[in-house]
Amino acid sequence: MTLGRTLVLSVDRDDDIGWKAKVESPAIGRAACLKAANTLALADPEDSDVNAIFSAVKIYDELTEKGEETAIAVIAGNHLHMIEGDRRIATSLEQVIKETQATNCILVTDGAEDEYVIPIIQSQIPVSSIRRVIVNQMPNLEGTYYILKKFLDDPKISRMIFIPLGLAMLLYAIAYLLDAPGIATIIVVGVIGGYLLYKGFGFDEIVHSIIDALRLSLSRGRFSFVTYTTTILLIIIGFTVGFINVLKFYSSDASLGLLLYLMTFIYGSIEWFIIAGLVTSVGVIIDVYANEREALGKVIVFPFFVIAVGFILYAASVYIISVSGVPDFPLTPDESAKNILYSTIIGVISAIIGVITQFFVNRKMAELRKQEIIEVI
């Protein structure tokens, strides 16, 4: 039974070889991998990726001595943007497989983070073994302090920890200077809580994707660059108006619960978010129609769903605020009940119209593709 050619693959998901050592990946071949490891070791001797690459070379040598057909490579992702980095890993692996003609893979990593890319690798080549390299450390207090210091020196980690704490402290100080200590506490807790939710729900990856989409639409001269920029401004306005609305009702009744704060925020900002969603949808639809018309059916439904969700959220916020007896709210519970009924009907009708429109657009696109195939034949 032949194993084919085995690829010994070292994965550096956070691209330390590029970030610290300025080594372009993929590095293919024993000499290129050793050069990458030596260069990284000189740039940062404590980096665990050095040990992972040397371990990969050792495995390569052992398999080669046994007479197996073997290749070796190091691929890297992106130090700051994990989604973009994983895409780069997929592209690099495709190039490595094409150049080495490997049929199976031994994966060498320096930790659990790199192992997140296993599904990406398995989608292109079978993984026959995984070797995780653990670097032994002396467990004393000084070593722990040094590890933490190196950990916080990493810009990816320091931005995640220092920015929210620094911003919260700055806002706290400003609120005290404005003689509003009660609001200061709310601001600090809100900033830290919002940041934790931002990271926990993966909104940072969404923001990076938006930035990448802006960069791509600008480089390709697409109309969506204008609509994306406008959307960002509208979202900022929406958040500002929403927080002002929360502070307005907080000043009239400091006993409001978290749910009511959320509803008052939605009540003040939802119209701006609806407009932002519609602007983005229009830009995406125009770009798809101009450049990828066959995918028009997938995006034509966006504005209808934005309207549906926006109306339902608005009606829900109005009703919850009114029945909770919030002071100075302009609508009575009876008026709010009618409002939620009419808004829900409008939202459902909008969603149904969107689905019907999508159906006819998909059918029209299918007919056009069929006609193009007939003309080619």
- Whole-angstrom CA distances from 211 to 89, 189, 223, 302 are 20, 28, 15, 20
Please tell me the predicted confidence (pLDDT) of residue 275.
Answer: 92
Give the position of tokens 């693959």. 9
Tokens standing for residue 183? 């609001």
HSE, CB side, 13 Å, CA atoms: give it for residue 49.
31
Separation of alpha carbons 81 and 13, rounded Å: 10
CA distance 42 to 49: 12
For residue 14, how many C-alpha atoms fall within 13 Å in the half-sphere facing its CB? 16
The rounded distance, in Å, linking the Cα atoms of 274 and 342 is 17
Give the CB-side neighbour count of residue 130, counting CA atoms within 13 A: 17
Per run of 10 residues, the mean pLDDT along the chain (length 377 residues) is 77 84 87 90 83 90 90 86 83 90 88 71 88 61 52 63 75 75 71 71 67 70 79 88 78 63 84 90 85 80 90 86 73 78 88 89 81 69
Q: Is 12 helix (H, G, I), strand (E, B) or coil?
A: strand
CA torsion, ordered 155, 160, 164, 170, to nearest 10 deg: -10
Q: Give the DSSP H/E element, type plus range, for residue 130.
A: strand 127-132
**Is the peptide bond prior to 45 cis by the omega test (within 30 degrees of 0)?**
no
What local confidence, expressed as pLDDT, does residue 251 receive?
58
How deeply is 100 buried, as exposed, middle or buried, from its count of CB atoms within 10 A (0-12, 13-18, 19+)?
buried
How many whole angstroms separate alpha carbon 323 and alpha carbon 91?
Answer: 55
72, 30 Cβ separation under 8 angstroms: yes
Q: At what angle do helices 181-200 and 224-252 cross, to 10 degrees?
A: 140
What span, in angstroms and rounded, lies between the C-alpha atoms of 309 and 266?
12
Question: Tell me, what DSSP letter sits at residue 45?
Answer: T
Packed helices 224-252 and 258-291: angle between N→C axes, nearest 10 degrees: 170
Task: Write 95-102 long-range contacts (CB < 8 A, 24+).
Answer: 95/26, 96/7, 96/9, 96/26, 96/28, 96/71, 97/7, 97/124, 97/125, 99/28, 100/5, 100/7, 100/28, 100/71, 100/73, 101/5, 101/71, 102/4, 102/5, 102/6, 102/7, 102/71
